[in-house]
Structure 1
Amino acid sequence: MSAPITPTLLYLDNVSVSFDGFRALNALSLAVDHAEMRAIIGPNGAGKTTMMDVITGKTKPNEGTALYEGTHDLTSLDEAAIAELGIGRKFQTPTVFEMHTVEDNLLLALKNKRGPLATLFSGIAAQGRERIDVLLERVRLTAQRHRRAGELSHGQKQWLEIGMLLAQEPKLLLIDEPAAGMTDYETADTADLLRDIARSKAVIVVEHDMTFVRELGVKVTCLHEGSVLAEGSLDAVSANERVVEVYLGR
């Protein structure tokens, strides 16, 4: 492997995306380090979803650079290849196998050379069982191990899907509005969970709930019209007159 061009885990530079004349991303530049959590905020249409689409290979930019681990050009790879590199994405609405148990959902998601279905039907090896035990504890679902996923609360389904992402051993997680629809208790627990994950993995959280963003206590990037409007602590970004004008003041 060639030497990294940049030491950061994720590096976007001058990335632009246009759809039928609409510029969804406009020379967007962003860098996220290893084991860093970054909160992305901004009004609807700011480019948050398109940014995640570019990172995961769903959308190809018209111009710009998107590097992962300093050597992998994300613009030249498809979604499957990018996922294999260790980039996982969680959408706002949780997607779990509702008729399967919590344990089986995690089992299906495990990164396993034999394949998830083969493992599911042949039983869990000791190593796999240990990994699931760790995942269940990490996402606060040990007591729900044998429940069907469809019986979980909305917040618990969010945690299960985060656990399914972690089962794939990603280095970078993209999490879209994890606090939406959660109770206050679940929101606080989710902030704790994401802070715990960010000790060893990079996490990008797209969120509108400023109380939740404050609980995360991380660097904030505010997007507007496809580019970075402000960046820094939540207090610094919230004090930015343009951020107040285009987003927080609405």
Structure 2
Amino acid sequence: MAIGGLTTNALLYLDNVSVTFDGFRALNALSLSIDAQEMRAIIGPNGAGKTTMMDVITGKTRPNQGVAVFEASHDLTKLDEASIAELGIGRKFQTPTVFEMHTVEDNILLALKTDRRPFPTLFSKRTKAEKERIDALLERVRLTGSRDRKAGELSHGQKQWLEIGMLLAQEPKLLLVDEPAAGMTDQETADTADLLREIAKTASVVVVEHDMVFVRDLGVKVTCLHEGSVLAEGSLDAVSTNERVVEVYLGR
């Protein structure tokens, strides 16, 4: 299906997207393509447009021009945030948001993709399928041994994993992750890279990150943004040796 004259097979395709805030152009004719089951790292200096790009994808910000096409048939610029989430796009912000007074297991239960209207929620009982799904998610995010702990007792890295698990409970097709390695120990950082690589086997993942060691550990294609546009794209080695990238970002 073509949208705005475009035909694409990519899972996510941004074309000529521009966003202006009070005269400041946060995105400048940005074009970006993400395939199904691809993980992409997005890097760039502060103010490069990384957060605004994610805001456009999730419906938080409307672009002044351009389209954001999901699954070749949905123009995200025409949809609200709830509708976009229902399509299968999940977002994890830099600061983890979990229910700290509830157990880890209950956090996952609350996030499961199921009927959450008041009546079904009040009278529902945990099914065998839900229990198996929770067990699988806890194992996937390395929190099986912490299932009965209050979420507020977890380390920063574990809270990050829990929130990722809560997003996975929604069965996303595309996961946007903002600086997942920030504040983590070296071991947690390595484990998070492993986790994201596992997720990318079944869903697309876009990782916004400043930690170049972590980006290298991911071993994926890198897109560097600058002043709202793509400055360079390719392997980390290719991008990190680009003279303009070194000048505006890595050389600082």
**Scaled by the length of structure 2, what TM-score is found?**
0.96
- C-alpha change, 1:93 and 1:120, in structure 2 (3 Å) is farther
In the TM superposition, residue 118 of structure 1 has moved relative to its aligned partner by 4.5
Mapping of residues 1-150 of structure 1, within 5 Å: 5-115=7-117, 118-119=120-121, 122-150=124-152
Give how far 1:117 is off.
Answer: 8.7
Identity %: 81
Distance 2:137 2:223 in 1: 29
Q: Are the equivalent residues in 2 in contact too, given 1:102–1:160 (CA < 8 A)?
A: yes
Code of the residue aligned with 2:145 in structure 1: it is: A
Q: CA deviation at 1:165?
A: 0.2
1:155 alignment partner, SS class:
helix
CA contact (8 A) 1:110 1:116 kept: no
Q: How does 1:180-195 map to 2 (within 5 A)?
A: 180-195=182-197
Partners of 1:122 and 1:113 lie apart in 2 by: 10
Per-residue deviation, residues 77-127 of structure 1 (Å, max 9, x unmatched): 000000000000000000000000000000000000255995576431110
Cα contact 1:94–1:158 (8 A) shared by 2:
yes
1:19-63: CA deviations, max 9, x gaps?
000000000000000000000000000000000000000000000
Q: In structure 2, what is the Cα distance between the partners aligned to 1:121 and 1:222?
A: 49
Partner of 1:238: 240
Whether the aligned pair in 2 keeps the contact of 1:108 and 1:117 (CA below 8 Å) is: no
Give the Cα–Cα distance (whole angstroms) in 2 for the partners of residues 137 and 121 of structure 1: 28
Alignment length (residue pairs): 249
| 3-state secondary structure, aligned to 1:38 | strand
Q: What does the per-residue CA deviation read over 1:165-201, in whole Å, with 9 as the maximum and x for residues that have no partner?
A: 0000100000000000000000000000000000010
Paired AA for residue 170 in structure 1: P
List gaps (5 residues or longer) in structure 1: none
- What is the CA-CA distance between 1:65 and the residue it aligns to? 1.3
Q: 1:130 is aligned with what amino acid?
A: E
Shift of 1:6: 1.1
TM-score by length of 1: 0.97
Amino acid of the residue matched to residue 230 of structure 2? V
Q: Which residue of 2 aligns with 1:166?
A: 168
- Letter of the structure 1 residue corresponding to residue 154 of structure 2: L
Q: CA deviation at 1:13?
A: 0.6
Separation in 2, partners of 1:209, 1:117:
45
- Give ranges in structure 2 of 5+ residues lacking alignment: none
Structure 1 stretches of at least 4 aligned residues deviating more than 6 Å after TM superposition: none
Amino acid at match of 1:99: M
